[in-house]
Amino acid sequence: MFKKLDEMKKRYEFLSEQLADSALLADMGTWQKYSKEQADLTETMEKYAEYLAKQKEMDDAFALADTETDSEMKKMLLDEGYACKERLGELHNELKILLLPKDKNDERSCILEVRAGTGGEEAALFAGELCRMYQNYCAAHRLKVEEIEINATELGGVKECIYNVKGAGAYKLLKYESGVHRVQRVPATETQGRIHTSAATVAVLPEAEEVDVEINDKDIRIDIFHSGGAGGQNVNKVASAVRITHFPTGIVVTCQDERSQLKNKERAFKVLRSRIYDFYNGQNAKAREENRRSMVGTGDRSERIRTYNFPQSRVTDHRIGLSQYNLDAFMTGDIDSMVEALAIADREAMLSSQND
């Protein structure tokens, strides 16, 4: 670990020297590249500098204690040395965490998809509540939520909704939400007070840029058709809905929310790129992590990850075995503590796999 830190330190010092040279401003591309690289290293290097300073402080305290003849002063120096040693242990763990592989997608915007699962209209109502929960959560974190597609039901539920969540770190905040969300409660349509179990699925995909995914014209088919649902005369007269089929992966994307065919096509391609990126990225990740056991599960959207039990006001995340009894607040978007617990569990699992 320290060999790697020393190499990073040399690189950080080189970058600092280069960025201090005004001549580099003539090459703005290189300056931006170096500036970003230095920024990525700064937190780790500051922590390493603290570690080295604390190590010197400990060595000096123990060295002086060895030569000190006054018993009271010797005890004070030894206490100082052991306090430094304890702090060094903490800094060592903090450095290990900082050196963990970063998820290259964490700082990206993302595509958020929520779909009703088993349970009929009750599942659709629950899916709609999840959509509102995530909208509130994103608003609290100053993320912009742009609606791409929504398929609502007559009773106010949602069969499917797709959002583009924009903002730095959007994927990092939402990535643990992918999976099957199960709800247990008495539906509004239930006359005998029986508790029903329904489900909705959530998919969170890092937003892919055009440079991330190459889509060849020969690999897709674009169908234009009339929008369904509400829309007045536009529905009847203008064929604005777009369906794109990607043959290599079998992925199909439909977008009909906008009245403009061009806007629907742009949004459909955005979702398609992200799904293709997730498809191939997921395959590579599965191959790399085949033997890794993670506390937060596989992230597979077929995996049941969470249960919302309304009679007990309990929400349980099955990946980490955590139950919270704040369901009302949770459903309004107050999910930070759960997200943080999942991130900590993931980090601990990564540390454990490195130690195995």
The model's pLDDT over 116-133, given as tens digits with 9 standing for 90+, comes to 998 888 999 999 999 999
pLDDT in tens, 159-177: 999 999 999 899 999 999 9
With 80 as the cut, is the pLDDT of residue 57 above it? yes
Nearest of 346, 205, 198, 180 to residue 274 by alpha carbon: 205
The CATH number, out of the four listed (3.40.50.300, 3.30.70.1660, 3.30.70.20, 3.90.1170.50), of the domain defined by the range 110-206+301-352:
3.30.70.1660
Is the pTM higher than 0.85? no
**Are 110-206+301-352 and 217-284 in the same CATH fold?**
no
| pLDDT tens-digit map of 27-45 | 888 888 888 889 889 999 9
Classify domain 217-284 at the CATH topology level: Double Stranded RNA Binding Domain (3.30.160)
The one-letter code for the residue type at 315 is V
Mean pLDDT in the chain? 85
Domain borders along the chain are: 2-98, 110-206+301-352, 217-284
Q: Judge contact between 136 and 332, C-beta under 8 A.
A: yes
* pLDDT tens, residue by residue, 79-92: 999 999 999 999 99
DSSP letter assigned to residue 339: H
In the chain, % of residues over pLDDT 70 = 88
Residue 56: per-residue pLDDT: 95
- 273 within 8 A of 212, measured Cβ to Cβ: yes
CA dihedral 259, 265, 268, 274 (to 10 degrees): -140
Measured between alpha carbons, how far is 168 from 144 in angstroms, rounded to an integer? 10
Distances (CA, A) of 307 to 30, 115, 126, 185, 296: 49, 16, 12, 11, 15
pLDDT, one tens digit per residue, over 5-27 is: 999 999 999 999 999 888 888 88
Residue 10 CA neighbour count, 13 Å, CB half: 5
CA angle (347 as vertex; 346, 353 as ends), nearest 5: 90
